[in-house]
């Protein structure tokens, strides 16, 4: 979008440009930090960089080319990661009337969705460990300890996650609406 603001002097325009450039660099650094966090969790760093950028960019949606340019990453990496992020529920594709491009943005309630996915996985663990406890019931208590410990933790964790999601949704249902 072109800059329509009038500047009283070249120095003022230059100063504003330096502030914008500094802010842009801060946003890129933020995206990089998110990338490192996801990388430490076993995810590709580029997924975190995309996620971080989409959390701070303006506008809050970015085209494929915008992501390639902003993050200085190959088109293949952006393509692969945006598909995976859409599949995981973190990012969604948005379109606008009269514009043939697709854009990407962080999905509303993405964090609740991530917790709900973890909750499903934890429920599977709880079910399997419950069956494992039954299978091990004729074994000495000492041998049952590991599976019981995991089962008890999963049951506890599930309850805590369900309460956390309910609590979050009741307190933060006034989040700023997403674009698109």
Give me the pLDDT at residue 20, please: 64
Span 13-50, pLDDT tens digits: 555 566 668 999 999 999 999 999 999 999 999 999 99
Question: Which pLDDT band holds residue 4 (cuts at 50, 70, 90)?
Answer: very low
Question: Which pLDDT band holds residue 3 (cuts at 50, 70, 90)?
Answer: very low
Altogether, the residues listed in the chain come to a count of: 180
Question: Which pLDDT band holds residue 5 (cuts at 50, 70, 90)?
Answer: very low
| 63 pLDDT more than 80 | yes
| Residue that has been written with the tokens 């993405």 in this structure | 110
**What average pLDDT does the chain have?**
88
Give me the pLDDT at residue 171, please: 85
Calculate the alpha carbon distances from 104 to 49, 64, 86, 91 in Å. Answer: 13, 8, 9, 7
| 8 pLDDT more than 70 | no
Question: Which pLDDT band holds residue 175 (cuts at 50, 70, 90)?
Answer: low
Judged by phi (left if over 0) then psi (alpha if -120 to 50, else beta), residue 109 lies in: left
Give me the pLDDT at residue 172, please: 80
Across the range 163-178, mean pLDDT stands at: 77
The neighbour count for residue 52, using CB atoms within 10 Å, is 24
Residues 177, 94 contacting (CB under 8 angstroms)? no
Structure tokens at 176: 């700023």
Give me the pLDDT at residue 173, please: 67
User: Which letter, b or e, does each residue of 91-112 get, where b requires 16 or more Cβ atoms within 10 Å of its Cβ?
Assistant: bbebeeeeeeeebbbbbebbeb
Query: Closest Cα to residue 83, out of 53, 104, 101, 97?
Result: 104
In terms of C-beta density within 10 A (0-12 exposed, 13-18 middle, 19 or more buried), how is residue 29 classed?
A: exposed
Span 99-150, pLDDT tens digits: 999 999 999 888 888 889 899 999 999 999 999 999 999 999 999 999 999 9
Please report which helix (H) or strand (E) contains residue 94, including its range.
strand 91-94
3-class DSSP assignment, residue 139: coil
What DSSP line would sit under 146-162, residue for residue?
A: HHHHHHHHHHHHHHHHH
Please report which helix (H) or strand (E) contains residue 103, including its range.
strand 103-106
Give me the pLDDT at residue 180, please: 46
């Amino acid at each position: 979008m072109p800059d329509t603001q009038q500047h009283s002097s070249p120095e003022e325009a230059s100063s504003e440009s330096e502030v914008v450039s500094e802010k842009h660099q801060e946003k890129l650094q933020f995206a990089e930090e998110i990338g490192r966090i996801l990388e430490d969790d076993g995810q590709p760093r580029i997924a975190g960089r995309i996620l971080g950028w989409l959390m701070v960019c303006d506008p809050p949606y970015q085209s494929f080319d915008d992501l390639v340019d902003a993050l200085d990453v190959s088109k293949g990496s952006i393509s692969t990661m945006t598909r995976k992020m859409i599949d995981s529920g973190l990012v969604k594709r948005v379109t606008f009337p009269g514009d043939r491009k697709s854009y990407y943005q962080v999905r509303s309630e993405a964090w609740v969705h991530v917790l709900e996915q973890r909750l499903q996985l934890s429920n599977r663990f709880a079910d399997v460990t419950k069956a494992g406890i039954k299978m091990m019931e004729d074994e000495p208590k000492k041998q049952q300890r590991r599976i019981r410990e995991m089962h008890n933790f999963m049951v506890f964790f599930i309850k805590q996650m369900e309460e956390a999601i309910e609590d979050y949704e009741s307190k933060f249902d006034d989040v700023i609406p997403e674009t698109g």
